[in-house]
A and B are shown apart, each in its own frame.
Chain A
Amino acid sequence: VALPSTSSRMIDVQTKMAGRALELLNLPEGQPCYLLDIGCGSGLSGDYLSDEGHYWVGIDISPAMLDAALDRDTEGDLLLGDMGQGIPFKPGSFDGCISISAVQWLCNANKKSDIPAKRLYRFFSSLYSVLARGARAVLQLYPENSEQLELITTQATKAGFTGGVVVDYPNSAKAKKFYLCLFSGPSTFLPKGLSENQEEEEATESMFTNKRVPHRLAQRGLVRKSREWVLEKKERYRRQGKEVRPDTQYTGRKRKPRF
């Protein structure tokens, strides 16, 4: 199997993402922290954490990747484990958590008995517990589509997290990266996504809170009950497979005052 650590370009990409995740983690300046690395693989991201003076525990489901980490002599402690089964630590153990290119795997059902939403919820609820109060988790991931991203963020919200998705380089097919930034304390300011043209005003982040507004991501910027809002809602229902009347010139038209 071709492991990411065997290609120098892949090493560079993984390390860059680890750097960005650590930046988004916003840890106190100059303070060595105890961090969790989910899907640590062969320890590329962990090495970056060590270089920055932090101590870490890595979890990965692949014995082959962990063997590679041992060969690379990484400094963090390693665990063989499945994040979908929960994180086996005491409450408040960690000052922060990063994950590089791993969390989307929870959306795959490897066995017939796997239910992605359940595995996601188990992961996020246990992650919430093992983080110290006010600590963050920054999870870089490759969502297959917006439905998958919404599934993931819904379960994170259910587990008690606030936060949002930061998108770097949204206009570049190659460079575009998603970082799910989760806060275990009260809502804080969400960092701005990176773009090639720093003057762009384009919104690259979406926030969510633990208020029950599940469709906020799609509804951002739309005035409620406007024609655009109605069209977006109908499109969403179509994506969910519901039966929806076709859009016509009358869709979302102004009604008489009794409505």
Chain B
Amino acid sequence: MKLLTHNLLSSHVRGVGPRGFPLRLQATEVRINPVEFNPDFVARMIPKVEWAALLEAADTLHLVEVPKEPTEGYVNDETFLRKMHHVLLEVDVLEGTLQCPESGRVFPISRGIPNMLLNDEETET
């Protein structure tokens, strides 16, 4: 699971609504995966990023060199975009958990795949 995905995931447990974000990340195995740099794509994703959640996840994973916020004119700032590319797309959580901040429900991550299956009682009607 990439940190871009984590930054957009939100708990769909019944009754939780917008309070289901962000999912608290715990990781026991992380892999760095080289991904081809596409500045257009990274720049387009910047407005979608929730910075507090990103910084919290980066901190949990002990990542360094993580920008604290977009730089002015970031669309043309290759240094900034390369750092964001690395954080969002090259850090892959293989084993760990995601926890819904409102309900406490834990979703396990195995082989890089979060298990988001809910029980009947947890599903929104």
Chain A contacts to B: CB under 8 angstroms: 31-34, 53, 55, 57, 59, 61, 66-67, 70, 75, 77-82, 85-90, 92-93, 111, 113, 118, 122, 126
Please name the residue on chain B nearest to A80 by beta carbon: B115
A79 touching B113, Cβ below 8 Å: yes
**Stretch of B1-9, B55-63, B70-78 at the chain-chain interface:** B1-9
Residues of A within 8 A of B5 (CB): 57, 77
Docked-complex contact A88 and B2, CB < 8 angstroms: no
Would you give the shortest CB distance from A251 to chain B, in whole angstroms?
Answer: 43
Task: Known pairs A55-B89, A92-B48; list 9 more (Cβ under 8 Å).
Answer: A31-B40, A80-B115, A80-B116, A85-B12, A87-B12, A88-B10, A88-B11, A93-B8, A118-B125
CA distance A145 to B50 in the complex (A): 44
Find out whether the CB atom of A88 lies under 8 angstroms from the CB atom of B9. yes
Number of A-B contacts (CB under 8 A): 78
Chain A, residue nearest B125 (CB): A118
* 9 interchain pairs, CB-CB under 8 A: A61-B117, A70-B111, A78-B113, A80-B113, A80-B115, A80-B116, A85-B118, A93-B8, A122-B124
User: In the complex, what residues of B have CB within 8 A of residue A57's CB?
Assistant: 5
Q: Which residue of A lies closest to B42 (CB)?
A: A32
For B117, give its contact among A67, A75, A80, A118 (CB under 8 Å): A80
Within 8 A of A (CB), among B1-46: 1-2, 4-5, 8-12, 20-21, 35, 38, 40-41, 44-45
B40 touching A90 by the CB < 8 A rule?
no
Using a CB–CB distance below 8 Å, which chain B residues touch chain A?
Answer: 1-2, 4-5, 8-12, 20-21, 35, 38, 40-41, 44-45, 48, 50, 89, 111-118, 120, 123-125
The 8 closest A-B pairs by CB, nearest first: A32-B41, A81-B116, A88-B12, A86-B12, A93-B8, A77-B5, A80-B115, A78-B113
Instruction: Give the residue name and chain of the B residue nearest to A69 (CB).
Output: B113
Give the chain B neighbours of A93 by CB distance below 8 A: 8, 48
Shortest distance in angstroms between A43's beta carbon and chain B's nearest beta carbon? 12
A89 touches B120 (CB 8 A): no
Residues in B neighbouring A86, C-beta threshold 8 A: 12, 123-124
Cα–Cα distance between A34 and B49 once the two chains are bound (Å): 13
With both chains docked as a complex, state the minimum distance between the C-beta of A212 and any C-beta of chain B, in angstroms.
Answer: 23
Which residues of chain B have C-beta atoms less than 8 A from A34's C-beta? 4, 41, 44-45, 48
Alpha-carbon distance A87/B10, docked complex (angstroms):
9
- CA A79 to CA B35, docked complex, whole Å: 20
Instruction: Give the docked Cα–Cα distance between A79 and B111 (Å).
Output: 11
Q: A34-B45, A92-B48, A93-B48 are in contact. Are A70 and B124 (CB under 8 A)?
A: no
Of B40, B48, B114, the contact of A80 (CB 8 Å cutoff): B114
Residues of B within 8 A of A55 (CB): 4, 41, 89
B116–A88 CB distance below 8 A = yes
Complex: how many Å from CA A53 to CA B41?
9
A156 → chain B closest CB, angstroms: 18
**Chain A neighbourhood of B8, CB < 8 A:** 89-90, 93
In the bound complex, CA of A33 to CA of B40 (Å): 10
Centre residue among B12, B50, B125 by max chain A CB count within 10 A:
B12
Q: In the complex, A78 Cα to B125 Cα: how many Å?
A: 25
Please indicate the chain A residues that have their CB under 8 angstroms from the CB of B112 in the complex.
Answer: 70, 77-78
Contact residues in A for B113 (Cβ distance below 8 Å): 66, 70, 78-80
Q: Are A81 and B41 touching (Cβ within 8 A)?
A: no
Residues of chain B contacted by A81 (CB below 8 angstroms) = 115-117
